[in-house]
Amino acid sequence: MRRWPAVGCLAGLLVGALWVTLATVAPPLRVTCDPIVPVDVCVATADAGLRRGMPGLHPLITEAVVRPGPSFPDGHGHRATVSYALLPGPVVEERLFFDMGGHWGAVPDRTTAEVALWALVPVALAAVVGLLVGWRIGRRRVPGRSRVPVSRPDGRTG
C-alpha cells in the first residue's frame, strides 16, 4: 500500500523533531574545566557560552570544555574559551569576552546556519529511516493478497 511510506516518513519526522527539541533544551552532558578554573566559574562560563554565542537551534552537546583566556580571571577582554562537542556535528569553539561596560559577549567559530544544519541532520535521517520502514511494511505479504496479478472475468487484472 502506498500510505505506509508516507506514514513512516511522518513518524520519522516526528521522532527527528523530538530529538532536536530535546537536544536544544538539554544542557551539556559533561562539563570539564581547566585545573585553574574554579568549578562554579567553569559551570557558569559554559552556561554563558550557551546563552551568548550558541545558536538557538543546535545539536546535542555532549561535552563543554572550559579553558581560561588571556585576561582570566578578572581582566577585560578574552576571558575564556569554551569548546562544545556536538552530536552530530563538529566541535564549536566560542571565545567569551567581558567588556568595559560589564557585558558578556561570545564569538563562535562556526556560523549560525552551519550549526543549525547540523541540528537538522537527525530529522532528515529519521525521515529516511521511517520512509524505508514504511515501504518495507507496505511490501510485506498479507494473507489473501496475491503478488501475481489475477485476471478477472471482466478482463481487468488486480
Domain ranges of the chain: 3-138
- Report residue 60 as a C-alpha cell: 546535542
Cis preceding linkage at 88, omega within 30: yes
Mean pLDDT of 61-78: 81
Q: Which of 23-32, 47-56, 98-107 has the lowest mean pLDDT?
A: 98-107
Describe the chain by its helix, strand, coil percentages, rounded to 5: 40, 25, 35
Q: Is the pLDDT of residue 9 over 70?
A: yes
